[in-house]
A and B are shown apart, each in its own frame.
Chain A
Amino acid sequence: MKINYEFHDFKIYFRDWIGTFRGKLTVLCLIGLILIPLTGNNYIIGIFNTFMIFTIFAASWDFLAGFVGQVSFGHAIFLGIAGYATAFTIRFLNFPWWTALILGAVIAVLFGLIIGVPALRLKGPYLALGTLAMSLILYQLFLMGSLAILWENTFPGTIMFGTDGIGQVPPISPNPGISYLIIFLIMCVSLIVLTHLGKSKLGTIFKSIRDDETGAKASGINTTKYKILAFMISGFFAGIAGGLYTIRLSGVNPGSFQALYSFYAIIMASVGGLATISGSALGAFIFVFLGEILRLLGDNPNISDMFGGFTEPIFIFSIILILIIRFAEHGLLKPVLEHLQDLWDLLLGR
Chain B
Amino acid sequence: MMFDTILSFLIFGTIQGSIYALLAMGFSLVYGVGGILNQAHGAFYVITAYIFYSCYINIPQYGYLIGIIIALIATTLIGGLIYLLLIKPLKESHVGVVIVTFAFAFFIERFVSIAVDSIYHNMPYLIVGYFTVFGVNIQYQYIIILIVSLLLLALISLFINKLKIGKSIRAVAQDPEAASLMGINVDRILAYTLMISAFLASVAAILYVPVETVAPHIGWTVLLNSFSIVVLGGLGSLHGSVIGAFIIAYSRSFTNYFIDPVFSALIPIIVIVVMLVLRPRGLFGKKEIK
Contact = CB atoms under 8 A, between A and B. Distances in A.
A298 B98 CA distance: 30
Contact of B272 (A115, A147, A309, A310): A115
Contacts of A126: 231, 276, 280
Given A137-B224, A322-B100, A121 B266 contact: no
B26 to A, nearest CB: 15
A147 B276 CA distance: 27
A308 B262 contact: no
Contact of A125 (B37, B99, B260): B37
A128 interface: yes
A178 interface: no
Given A69-B95, A125-B98, A137-B265, A325 B110 contact: no
Interface string A63-94: 00100010101000000000000000000000
Contacts of B100: 321-322, 325-326
Contacts of B95: 65, 69, 71, 274
Interface stretch (A16-24, A100-108, A312-320): A312-320
A124 B289 contact: yes
B290 interface: yes
Interface string B179-204: 00000000000000000000000000
Interface string A226-270: 000000000000000000000000000000000110010011001
Contacts, number: 124
Interface in A113-138: 114-115, 118-119, 121-126, 128-130, 132-134, 136-137
B221 interface: yes
A144 interface: yes
Interface string A314-343: 110011011001100100000000000000
A200 interface: no
Chain B interface size range: 35 or more
B160 interface: no
B106 A318 contact: yes
Contacts of A123: 289-290
Chain A interface size range: 35 or more
Contacts of B272: 115, 130, 133
A179 interface: no
B268 A310 contact: no
Given A114-B273, A129-B227, A314-B106, A137 B266 contact: yes
Nearest to B260: A146
B39 A322 contact: no
A158 interface: no
Interface in B229-269: 231, 235, 260-262, 265-266, 268-269
B276 A314 contact: no
Contacts of A260: 106
A137 B223 contact: no
A124 B268 CA distance: 19
B124 interface: no
Interface of A: 65, 69, 71, 73, 114-115, 118-119, 121-126, 128-130, 132-134, 136-137, 140-141, 144, 146-147, 259-260, 263, 266-267, 270, 274, 308-310, 312, 314-315, 318-319, 321-322, 325-326, 329
25 contacts: A122-B276, A122-B289, A125-B37, A130-B272, A133-B227, A136-B221, A137-B224, A260-B106, A263-B103, A266-B99, A266-B102, A267-B103, A309-B114, A310-B114, A314-B110, A315-B107, A315-B114, A318-B104, A318-B106, A319-B107, A321-B100, A322-B104, A325-B100, A325-B103, A326-B86
Q: Give 4 closest A-B pairs by Cβ, nearest first.
A: A118-B276, A315-B110, A318-B107, A321-B103
